[in-house]
Structure 1
Amino acid sequence: MKFKILTPKNFQTTNWSGGTTTQLYISPESATLANKDFNLRISTAKVEANESTFTSLPGINRKLMILEGGITISHEDQYSKHLKPFDVDTFKGDWKTTSIGTCTDFNVMTTGDKEIGLYPLRMNGAKNFKFAPLLNCKDLFFYATNGNITVEISGEDYLLQKGNLLVIQDFDVPSIAISSDEAFGIVVVQVNK
């Protein structure tokens, strides 16, 4: 099992027509969004324009979670729905997608047939909360949305602060312990085998 904590100094922020996007993680590391040669890409985005058109990304599967604000997302010839904080939408990158509203969102993009779980974990504090992902978990990511969180992995403590991303590859323990003296939030991304 390998793990590391990435901080904002590791992230790349770029502009797009509707605001900014910050790449938190990409695999393989040499891949780029422009080349669409990644297996997995995790990012956040600030949607600052009230009306936005999503970039067409054929061959890419997308999951989007709202962190702040809210949008109405519309996929032409598919469906429309309103997303508020911690709601998730799953869609194909080649769908013609637009949104109305402003928000900060969390994005997971994959290629191929990877099975991805994306969900929030929010608590008003915890002492040794045992987090156990699904049995078929291969890689696990924790993105801290607020609070200072201690994560215990194999007997070692790691501090996860707001805006940091914990990356655990080849997950092979039954659970990890999470502790915080304050309210905290984590966005969990689970990549299954």
Structure 2
Amino acid sequence: MQYQIIKREDFIVHRWSGGTTSEIFLFPPSSCWEKKDFQIRISSADCRVDGAPYSDFTGFTRHILPLRGSMHMFHEGHHEVLLNPFDVDIFDGSWNTHHIGKAVDFNLLYSENWTGRLKPLLQNESIKIEKSGIIGFYAVEDAEILSRDFSVEVPAGDFIVFNDINEATVFSIKAALHGPCVIAAAAFPKGSSHMRLSSMPVDEFCALTASDAPAPGGGSVSALCGSLAAALAEMVGNLTLGRRGCEDAQESIREALAELEEIRTILLKAIDEDSESFNGFMTALKMPKNTEEEKALRKTAMSQALKTASLVPLKVAGQSVRIFKFSRLMLERGNKNAATDAMVSALAARTAAIGALLNVRINLRSIHDPEFVRTTLEEVLRLETLTNEQEKEITEIGYQLLNQ
């Protein structure tokens, strides 16, 4: 695996109204920061002036974290957040942004054709890259970067980049520092399977959902709720196995656990499938519409993409409805100390199913296939009825148990 170590003395320094920025890495190499024709930019800024406006990077997404000092970020019309060292904020490069606080920060910037991740890594921590991307590591302290077939030492302040990753690769870190010792900055072309939403840390998934990026949205969040509903029911089952007083439930619990694991796996995959199907619709939406022929092709493509985008949440709803019988089983025959977990499982399954079906409903309004709309709407109504009935029954049983 090829890599390049960029020494800190080779960083390119730019001055701006709030201090200085050290440009660490620019991709492609022939691009220019001033022209904004790059795809990826990694940099570190020494911010000395409170309130200085950030440069306009319309068309780019920006990840930022403080290396030293704290930054109170203000995004006009969006959100504000206080970042302590190694906290990450993600925002659109077009926003009117400034911060209060003197700090040295670290930035990842990538164009709309890419996606990425900025993550502080501790000693012995690992990060997995699925494929097709660029990843770099900034050494906060002297560190050793290891993978399956190599290791390389990176002095403090230097940056190492791998830009030929074409297969799943796990990188791990060795260093003497107990806190964050390396900053991993990774970027990938959209459509590559580099970083599934389902593999994201919870805080990063929430931050991405909270941003003005159109995906992940309600569909992916519904799939996540469903996977958590299955996981909670599994937890109650595992707390029941081998428990005294639950001997007669052991076989049915084991069978339920196998089926719940299958449901959870399907719903985890659907987190990404929903966002990918939405991206397919956005691609159709951007088709040319200058002539009548182009307009007709675009309309057909959009309708077909919406069909695909409807089938994913319909699957999420169907799988979520399957969870109810297991939530009920765990409530009635499982570990009584975890009864409320079984109830939450049912509540989360309802949120997943109804949320997914809302996505189906809104898509059906723009699909120009009456038969598809009719049959799909019938299934939506069936699943909505089942969902509301099952969740109500399980909740009533749960409150009866709690009031005993």
Answer whether contact 1:137 1:191 (CA < 8 A) is retained: no
Report how many residues are paired: 187
Answer whether contact 1:133 1:190 (CA < 8 A) is retained: no
* 1:23-102 map, 5 Å: 23-102=23-102
Corresponding position of 1:115: 115
Q: Which runs of 4+ in 1 moved over 6 A?
A: none
Deviations 1:164-187 (A, max 9, x none): 111012223532343334546100
Deviations 1:116-139 (A, max 9, x none): 01110123xxxxx47341424622
- 2: distance between equivalents of 1:177 and 1:63? 22
Quote how far apart the aligned CAs of 1:81 are: 1.2
Corresponding position of 2:135: 140
Tell me, which stretches of 5 or more residues in structure 2 are unaligned? 193-404
- The question of 1:165 aligning with 2:159 is answered yes
- The question of 1:178 aligning with 2:173 is answered yes
RMSD: 1.9
Corresponding position of 1:8: 8
- 2: distance between equivalents of 1:173 and 1:111? 23
Amino acid at match of 1:131: S
Percent identity, aligned pairs only?
26
Deviations 1:95-126 (A, max 9, x none): 11121111110011111231201110123xxx
- The question of 1:131 aligning with 2:126 is answered yes
Corresponding position of 1:126: none
Secondary structure, in 3 states, of the residue corresponding to 1:53?
Answer: coil
Secondary structure, in 3 states, of the residue corresponding to 2:122?
Answer: strand
Quote how far apart the aligned CAs of 1:156 are: 3.5
Structure richer in helix, relative to its length:
2
| From 126, 146, 152, the counterpart of 1:152 | 146
- 2: distance between equivalents of 1:24 and 1:16? 16
Structure richer in strand, relative to its length:
1
Scaled by the length of structure 1, the TM-score of the pair is 0.88
- 1: distance between equivalents of 2:14 and 2:140? 20
Amino acid at match of 1:120: P
Answer whether contact 1:133 1:175 (CA < 8 A) is retained: yes
Computing the radius of gyration over CA atoms, which structure comes out larger, 1 or 2?
Answer: 2
Quote how far apart the aligned CAs of 1:37 are: 0.2
Quote how far apart the aligned CAs of 1:38 are: 0.1
Amino acid at match of 2:100: I
Deviations 1:32-87 (A, max 9, x none): 12100000000000110122211122112111111111111111111111111111
Amino acid at match of 1:157: S
Secondary structure, in 3 states, of the residue corresponding to 1:9?
Answer: helix
Amino acid at match of 2:67: L
Answer whether contact 1:130 1:175 (CA < 8 A) is retained: no
Answer whether contact 2:40 2:187 (CA < 8 A) is retained: no
- 2: distance between equivalents of 1:61 and 1:43? 14
Answer whether contact 2:70 2:84 (CA < 8 A) is retained: yes
- 2: distance between equivalents of 1:76 and 1:24? 28
Tell me, which stretches of 5 or more residues in structure 1 are unaligned? 124-128
- 2: distance between equivalents of 1:115 and 1:150? 26
- 2: distance between equivalents of 1:99 and 1:46? 13
Secondary structure, in 3 states, of the residue corresponding to 2:128?
Answer: coil
